[in-house]
Amino acid sequence: MTRYVIRRLLWAVVLFLAVTLVTFVIFYLIPVDPARQAAGKAATPAQIQEVAHRLYLDRPIWQQYLHFLDELVHGNLGYSYANRQSVNETIKQAAPVTASLVIGAAILWLAMAVPIGVYSALRPRTKGDRAAMGFVLAGISVHPVWLGLVASYLLAFVPTQGSFLGIHFPSFTLFPIQGYCNLKGAAPGEPCGGPVQWAYHLVLPWFVLAIGYAAFYVRLVRSSTMEVLNEDYVRTARAKGVPASQVLRSHVLRNAMLPVVTAFGMDIALALAGAVLIEFVFGLPGLGYVAVHSLYQFDYPVTLGVVVFASIIVIVANLVVDLLYAWIDPRIRLS
Amino acid sequence: MKRRGVWVALTAVVAGSALLFSAGCGSSGSSSSGGGGASAGAIPAHQNGGTIKVALSGNVDYMDPALAYYQSTWQILYSTCVKLTNYKDVTGDAGRVIYPEAASAMPDISSDGLTYTYTVPPGRFKFNTGEPVTAQSFQHALERDLNPNQASYFGSVFLAPVIKGASDFKGKPGEHVSGIQVQGDKLTVTLVKPDAGLLSKLTTPFACAVSKDMPVDDKGVHTPPMAGPYYIASYSPNRSIVLKKNPNWTDAAGFKRPAYLDEIDYTALTENTDQGTLQIKNGELDYSPDALSPAQFFQLNKEYGPNGTSGGDQRFFITPAAAVSYLALNTARPAFSNPLVRQAVNYAIDRPAIAQASGYGATTPAEKYLPPQIAGSQQEQVVYPVDSVDLNKAKSLMQQAGVTTPITAVLYTCNQAPCPDRAAIIQQNLKAIGINVQIKEFDRGVQFGKEGTKGEPFDIGDEGWIADYYDAYDFLNILLDGSHIPATNGNDFSYINDPQLNASLDHANTLTGDARNQAYGDIATKLKQPGGLAPWAPRGFPNNIDFFSSRVGCQVNQGSYGMALNTFCIKSGS
């Protein structure tokens, strides 16, 4: 097991270096001069050159990359070109937002997918199964941006209007249209805070991010469970008179969850990317928003910082999944 | 003010706000019809105090006056700063007149135009901390701009070339810029060459009074003490900004600058534009200058514009920004080396159609070089057709030019909507006079860089420019003086380098007052008149869009800075 872990860790370091190098080179190749952006549009070439020197942009790319790695080793991701804020601070502030979104959505999609998937597998081709498959089709087909906009319009805006399609009703507030509240409490200038407000503001984003994944996982759980149900050891357990609930819990689910756990590790990483769209729709100041906004501004240190941070998360998530997988199925580590 | 970070700003201008289009807002109405400026004279019954909630969609840079450069932060600093001279909170032309604010009078300018002396009575204004504003407050402000350790790139771009001793200033403790001296209540600014634009430059936030203890910090101070109607109580990047009423605010200059609200809370700095519009409609938010959905502009103007169907006061405002959108015609290349061909382009482009492609309310068609906010614009005469095309005139000019058609011209534009749509219209317009346009699309930042590189093979650049400060110099000299076109990072995208034009621009910059305005207006007019150089085909003025909830009133659309936050109030009964 130790060798396995060391091997995985070494691969993680190589992967991390590769990601940062590729990202760095891509930004270097874009024919936009960040120094000019930082200096202002009326700056003279001499002034732009001065800024370039200050920002370390007048060195060869390999020196810039080594400088970046050197700073990284010392825990410094650099400073934004656009507002000179520490990238560490920016990420520190944005990461909890994205984590709140992704973890909450992941719990929600598993909470939806596992029971529905198992139910469908146990009762294939029933009305309930067909309804579940209908949900799967809709969930996979609908785009999260569309769903987010429609959900916030219908569930957050319309109730406050007191009428919809000519039908009148007392206006009320069901969900906030957008925004984020800190879990710990409201910071100065922020309108809300605390666990209740935090969850209340995230219900719609969680639902919108989770729905597509939930649909996919229903299918995954269903097919995996059906496959395990047909295994000899399940038949044997039943023949031995093991109660159905115990067969399901100890024999079916434990084995059916292997592909789900694998996919879950990957999808947490994918959900980070999906979170970009949700954060934009619901105005959440998370990593996705920060990354996209920095791209618009050619604010490379911030983009690179988010990429580095996301890479670490994805690599760690995969590492955890690998270890979890090895724990669930000891044959993995032996191979 | 209407300048921001290069790409953000110029993308907005050139793209006519890319977002404007993304909403498919090509509605039918004239984009200029929505106007309407809130006037200081129409103050509704209101309550003093209260808090309003404001949202932005991400365009915030610094709260530090030495570093701030985005439109949204200049809007904040307009209502938090006290300057030597400033604009009054009035709309239209009156809002573009500079008056003494912290200074007791306009500066005494020496006959050679090299020395500006301000008298700053100490304590007329006070920071929110209680510290009095003195001449040193401005000395420190300007020296922060020029201090290499502060790295105020934007401030130093404007001030360093003209202030004596600025280039030698190292920012050591106790060191002062030789050209910025204080004696008693006198602040003397000495220049190395006459710069009549200095007055305008010193009405920007770079000349905002700062506390004597304000540190030099190249990361920027988040909550600098302020002496204006409001101060910045807190700022959390990407999260929130809180402005509170300055407890020591007195309208000492007699500007009648109000501060009705207790607090202005920017509760969201990452607002989605679709959602922001809904939130203002249902009252969850009170105001946004940018978190608004372009797809909604037509409907919002119809419901909440100057003659809105929803009744009540105007809540939706479309007003021109201090910016110009134009086609830079590359005079260094064969296609447009002949001024008559460039003149022909100006008669052939359909400005209303091009404006409409940018979306409802995005652009007001125009053919002027100088936006209306800029002194000199009134003196600039209209020469080219604004509401239509004059194909006969255009064809006649092409004939006079004696060029062999068809001419092939490469148009550089951005790759975000509505640039490609606009390019298609320009292509169609110019085909009618024998110019075949080849469109090349780039990311806006890439386009800007390429066009600023000498020898780049483009003939037309779809360009825009936002004022850094309210002076014609910032448009005409910066963009058309060809005497020092650099190999890269240039701004003269038409590559015009005419000694006579350069001399006229230099001369105009030595003038002040009406003479200056007339000189710049004449230069712009002459560029367009028969025989003129016609380096551009100006196509319009981009607009600012503002939307308020029903409970906010008293808005003053300040003639230079747009909506003045300090004028907002909560209507009675809200």
Which string of DSSP letters, residue by residue, matches A27-87?
HHHS---HHHHHH-TT--HHHHHHHHHHTTTTS-HHHHHHHHHHHHHTT---B-TTT--BH
Model pLDDT, residue B8: 43
Q: CB–CB of B4/B70 below 8 Å? A: yes
Residues of A in contact with B276 (CB under 8 A): 178, 283
In this structure, which amino acid lies at residue A63?
Q
Would residue A88 count as lying in a domain? Answer: no
Question: Which A-chain residues 108-147 have CB contacts (< 8 A) with chain B?
Answer: none
Task: Tell whether A329 is covered by a domain.
Answer: yes
pLDDT score at B5: 42
Proportion of chain B above pLDDT 90, given as a percent: 66
- Give the bridge partners for B180, in sequence order: B189
A-chain residues near B62 (CB < 8 A) = 83-84
Contact A44 B157 (CB under 8 A): yes
- pLDDT level of residue B459 (50, 70, 90 thresholds): very high
A191 with B53: Cβ contact below 8 A: yes
Q: Which of A17-21, A110-114, A206-210, B501-505 has the lowest mean pLDDT?
A: A17-21
Kindly indicate the confidence band of residue B23, based on its pLDDT and cuts at 50, 70 and 90.
Answer: very low
Residue B333 phi, psi dihedral angles, 5° rounding:
-115, 155
Q: Which position has the higher pLDDT, B227 or A259?
A: B227
CB contact under 8 A, A189 and B267: yes
- Name the 3-class secondary structure at B327: strand
Q: Which of B67, B70, B272 to mutate to test the interface with A (most CBs of A within 10 A)?
A: B272
pLDDT at B164 over 70: yes
Task: Please determine, for the modelled complex, whether the ipTM score is greater than 0.90.
Answer: no
Please name the residue that has the structure tokens 């712009």.
B524
pLDDT band of residue B1 (cuts 50, 70, 90) is very low
A85 vs B contacts (CB less than 8 Å): 219, 237
B240, B269, B489 member nearest A45 (Cβ): B489
Mutate to test the interface with A, among B284, B442, B465 (most CBs of A within 10 A): B284
Highest mean pLDDT among A190-194, B63-67, B466-470: B63-67
CB A36 to CB B486 under 8 A? Answer: no
Instruction: Check CB contact under 8 Å for A31 and B450.
Output: yes
pLDDT at A168 over 80: yes
The total of other beta-carbon atoms located within 10 Å of residue B378's CB is: 14
Which range among A70-74, A302-306, B90-94, B562-566 shows the weakest confidence by mean pLDDT?
A: B90-94
Does the beta carbon of A200 lie under 8 angstroms from any beta carbon of chain B?
no
**Total of domains in chain A:** 1
d(CA B164, CA B31): 46
* Residues whose CB falls within 8 Å of the CB of residue A102, separated by 6 or more in sequence, listed in order: A209, A268, A271, A272, A275
Please check whether residue A236 lies inside any domain of the structure.
yes
Q: Both ends of chain A: CA-CA distance in Å?
A: 11
CA-CA distance, B116 to B113, in Å (whole number)?
A: 8
Q: Which of B275, B449, B478 sits opposite A283 (nearest CB)?
A: B275
The verdict on a CB contact (< 8 Å) between B153 and A283 is no
Contacts of A305 in chain B (CB under 8 A): none
Inform me whether the C-beta atom of residue A161 falls under 8 Å from chain B C-beta atoms: yes
pLDDT in tens, B256-273: 899 999 999 999 888 888
Assigned domain for A43 exists: no
Question: What's the average model confidence in pLDDT over A62-74?
Answer: 89
Q: Name the average pLDDT for chain B.
A: 88
Q: From the list A42, A54, A280, which residue is nearest B491 (CB)?
A: A42
- A333 in B contact zone (CB under 8 Å): no
Pairwise pLDDT comparison (A27 vs B285), residue with the higher score: B285
Task: Round to whole Å and give the CA distance between B389 and B395.
Answer: 11
Residues A237-248: tens digit of each pLDDT:
999 999 999 999
Chain A, residues 211-270, CB within 8 A of chain B, namely none
How many angstroms away from the CA of B68 is the closest CA of chain A?
Answer: 9
Is the CB of residue A57 less than 8 Å away from at least one CB of chain B? no
- Chain B positions in Cβ-Cβ contact with residue A296 (cut-off 8 Å): 7-8
- CB contact (8 A) between residue A41 and residue B6: yes
Contact B62 A84 (CB under 8 A): yes
What is the model's pLDDT at position B83? 96
Q: Is A45 on the interface with B (CB under 8 A)?
A: yes
Q: Which residues of B touch A149 (CB under 8 A)?
A: 274
What the block records as the tokens of B387 is 């509401």
Mutation pick from A44, A83, A300 vs chain B, by most beta carbons of B within 10 Å, is: A83
Residue B19, pLDDT > 50, answer no
pLDDT band (50, 70, 90) for residue A258 = confident
Please report residues of A whose CB lies closer than 8 A to that of B158.
Answer: 42
- Using an 8 Å CB-CB cutoff, list chain A residues near B157: 39-40, 42-44, 47
For residue B469, give the chain A residue with the closest CA.
A42
Interface residue A62 vs chain B (CB under 8 A): no
> What's the confidence (pLDDT) of residue A335?
56
pLDDT of residue B278: 93
- Give the model's confidence band at A274: pLDDT under 50 very low, under 70 low, under 90 confident, else very high: confident
**Would you say residue B276 has pLDDT above 80?**
yes
The Cα of B105 is separated from the nearest Cα of chain A by a number of Å equal to 30
Domain that holds residue A271: 95-334
Above 50 in pLDDT, residue B4? no
- Under an 8 A CB cutoff, do B153 and A38 touch? yes
Structure confidence at residue B486 (pLDDT): 84
For β-strands B562-563 and A167-168, DSSP reports them as unpaired
Distance from the B488 Cα atom to the nearest Cα atom in chain A, whole angstroms: 7
For the stretch B165-220, pLDDT in tens is 998 999 998 899 999 999 999 999 999 988 888 998 999 999 999 999 999 999 99
| Residue numbers in B near A84 (CB within 8 A) | 62, 67, 218-220
Check CB contact under 8 Å for A177 and B284. Answer: yes
Cis peptide before B406 (omega within 30 of 0): yes
Q: What confidence tier does B7 reach under pLDDT thresholds 50, 70, 90? A: very low
pLDDT higher than 60, residue B33: no
**What CA–CA distance (Å, rounded) separates A40 from A45?**
11
Please return the burial class of B527, using the count of CB atoms within 10 Å of its CB with bins 0-12, 13-18 and 19+: buried
Nearest Cβ partner for B62 among A44, A83, A281? A83
**Banded model confidence at residue A332, pLDDT cuts 50, 70, 90:** low
Higher pLDDT, B243 or B572: B243
Rounded to whole angstroms, what are the CA distances from A144 to A152, B278, B388?
12, 19, 43
- Mutate one of A32, A86, A284 to test the B interface: name it (highest B CB count within 10 A): A32
Q: Is A168 exposed, middle or buried (0-12, 13-18, 19+ CB in 10 A)?
A: exposed
Report yes or no on A324 lying in a domain. yes
Residue A195, domain member (yes or no):
yes
The predicted structure's pLDDT at residue B307: 85
C-beta separation of B252 from B239 below 8 A:
no
CB A65 within 8 A of CB A24: yes
Residues from chain B contacting residue A208 (CB–CB below 8 Å): none
CATH code, domain carrying A313:
1.10.3720.10
pLDDT in tens, B213-235: 999 999 999 999 999 999 999 99
- Give the Cβ contact number of residue A40 at 10 Å: 24
Instruction: For residue A297, give Cα distances in angstroms to A33, B18, B183.
Output: 11, 14, 43
pLDDT score of A37:
75
Contact B240 A31 (CB under 8 A): no
Residues of A in contact with B61 (CB under 8 A): 82-83
Q: Which residue in chain A has the smallest CA separation from B67?
A: A83
Distance (Å) from the C-alpha of residue A210 to the closest C-alpha of chain B? 20
Question: Min CA distance, A179 vs chain B (Å)?
Answer: 7
Q: Does A23 reside within a domain?
A: no
Domain annotation covers residue A7 = no
Query: Best interface-test mutation with B: which of A55, A76, A177 has the largest number of B CBs within 10 A?
Result: A177
H-type alpha helices, chain A: 2-29, 34-39, 45-54, 61-73, 87-122, 127-141, 144-151, 158-161, 195-229, 232-239, 244-246, 254-281, 287-296, 300-328, 331-334
